Structure 1
Amino acid sequence: MEPISIVCAVFLVYSSHLQGSSALTPVFVQKGKDVLLEFMKADVPEDFDLLSWTFNKSDTLVTFSPGREPRVYAAYTGRVEPSVKNYSVKLKNLQEADSGVYTARVTTDKEQTVAEYNITVQDPVSPVELKKKNSVSNSLDSCNLTVTCSTQDSHHISSTLRCDNQTCSQEGGERSKVTTSGASLLVYLVNDSIICNHSNQLMEQTVTMFILLLLVLLWLSS
């Protein structure tokens, strides 16, 4: 069995409390999670007539009017949770179709944008596997190895290593590809290890193979 050290790290670039501005703010959210969109209440005049949250500048999620309860539009009933305290909106159980631009606009004698978010909903990346193929050549002083980094959803990338006197180099340098889900798949050499990495803005999965120990096993078997 090949000596493999597996490292799995999860980075949720999702936040349950996001402070907006009039500039477009990118936000990455894991599928099925909630996210709270809000802004500084001081940005809203006390004598405003209407405040609305829209999706992709056309679909209205919810509107706020002074002295009245928020109005949630039928298509978003149960999917959004408005707060009259600060005019925020919680988007619940987000799915990929919910990716898009969410805008808060306030109307007085003119219309003003007070917050705008570009939300991208993503699945976590799948675990990866790093395998060694049969060596291209194998002698007492040199060895060519081909390694393949693959994901559970059938994406893969291969790279060839040339090793001389226990020093290895990666032919063509770091190899990378973007999967159909928009994640990055990388295979690269660091010191005496070859690393396979599968990541998106939310999460990464990494497998490390220690090359020098693997080379010793190959030479012993040659």
Structure 2
Amino acid sequence: MLNLLNERLGLGVMYYSTDGINFPSLIEERSTGDFPSDFMEKHQKMLQVFDYYTNRSKPNDILLLSSRYELRWGEYPIPQSQRQLKFTYYDDKGSKIATKDALGKWENAFNTLIERALSKGLRVVIFNPIPTFQYPLPPSPQWFNKLAYARSSQQYFTRSELINHYQKVSDVLKSLQERHSNVFVFDAFGVLCPPPDSRQCLPDSYRDQVHLSTTGAEKMYPAFSSFLLNNFPGIDKP
């Protein structure tokens, strides 16, 4: 999708991805009760990466933020294999946080990062989490399987089954948007699982239970490009 923004709208793109860290949160989660020895090192690295990109941006540039926030903050982890994960929450000082307090501290930490970006004149877009699924998905159409088979094996997932899992995260992101005039939330969930038809949540745009395929990302492009053009008029002009 980012490539399409570059090719079709002429937008310059700087991209960074990190595996296994709930960026841009400053809260660390682990499945054991032991404080991880490399926590502060990873924490500082994330801040350095954030500052590296924001310091090289120009006023009115747009910062896009996306992560699987719902894995830590949803009602339960998806996919099914992760249901038994137990998290221990720490703040940026290495102190353990009670689970009931962790979400609010994460929101405050997220807000701090946003304010750092806004202070440099950036505009911020946060992606709502995309739908993810509990069980292995049927195959999507590929060169090595027949389209008819892929269609016949499609499973349907109702919107109501999925949306409750994301409600806590959605509420936090909505709160961040309401705090700041230059923060915008893109409803990726709504694009892939649109209302009101509860049977439109088809996993045909995924390469596995939690990642979009190339086709799925391309399907997101029309809605996201319109979102950018509506909220940031003129960004497609030299």
Q: TM-score, normalised by structure 1?
A: 0.24
Q: TM-score, normalised by structure 2?
A: 0.23
Quick check: which has more Rg, 1 or 2? 1
Between Structure 1 and Structure 2, which shows a larger proportion of helix residues?
2
